[in-house]
Amino acid sequence: MAALPCIEIETAPNPSAAVIWLHGLGADGNDFVPIIPQLNLSECPAIRFIFPSAPSMAVTVNGGYVMPAWYDITGRAVNDREDIAGIHKSATAISELIEREASRGVAYEKIVLAGFSQGCAMSLQVGLRFPHRLAGIMALSGYLPLANSLAQERSEANGKTPVFMAHGTWDAVITLERAEASVDTLEKLDYQVDWNTYPMEHSLHPDELVDISRFLTMVLSKS
């Protein structure tokens, strides 16, 4: 896969931290750019926000319609076949973005991997298997993909990395129960999950933005 096209926004010159934020199915890198001014990052170091765009592909669950996607989705049920090859392909491209930040002078432990919906799934897929410790993982309105292989593939480096998970109690796209099952799987593997729910559908909530600001401050303001 070619390098992912990205939108980059720096909160101040010479950033020493980075947040790689992955969009959901059918969106692109522009999707969460408007969120940045709504976050309180006053106690954080300068941050480079990176918003990559997924390549377009035919998505089975949407009748084969071609749209930006990190991997194919065959159905909405928990037991539907997962696109293992597609997930691994995108994971490689996302890992390359992390390595690029490291090559630009941002320490691995100052990089947060974030994502919404399908992007949430990819942030967990990549972050929990990445060989260097990251600052944190921010998993919004999504689920843990390839859950059965995590115990064998997990990276000890990120065994204690803070994981912020958030979900809407009215989410009909990815049910609350599916997200709760993901949290349960992670906690059984001793991950530190900061689990939050909000009265919303498949979206973002104003209170969630406050909690995201709190999480980013916690994991990035450490010396």
Residues annotated as part of the active site: 117, 171, 202
CB of 72 closer than 8 Å to CB of 57: yes
Distance CA 123, CA 116 (A): 9
Distance CA 97, CA 4 (A): 8
Distance CA 68, CA 53 (A): 7
**Which helix H or strand E contains 187, and what residues bound it?**
helix 176-188
Distance CA 103, CA 82 (A): 32
Residue 220 structure tokens:
């990035």
Is beta strand 65-68 parallel, antiparallel or unpaired with respect to 17-22? Answer: unpaired
